Amino acid sequence: MSKSNSNQPVVPTAREALDKFKMEAANEVGVNLKQGYNGDLTSREAGSVGGQMVKKMIEAYENGMK
């Protein structure tokens, strides 16, 4: 049985979609996210991007329930 990296999506094209989603969320909250390494972001900036992503996912789920 092979080990899988939990950081890698099962569907390879999902990585591109997640990266695009992350960039859109960063743009919406005013965080300058760049392709590749973003280790220079503050915890607050990184958290605001993640929070915006979750907010958008919840909204999409709720809209799908209607």
Q: What is the pLDDT of residues 47-59, one digit of tens each?
A: 999 999 999 999 9
How far is it, in rounded angstroms, from Cα 24 to Cα 39?
Answer: 18
Specify the number of domains making up the chain.
1
5 falls within a domain? no
**What average pLDDT does the chain have?**
89
1 falls within a domain? no
pTM of the model: 0.75
55 falls within a domain? yes
Structure tokens at 30: 């005013």
38 falls within a domain? yes
How high is the pLDDT of residue 33?
94
> Residue 36 pLDDT more than 90?
no
Range of the domain at 27: 12-65
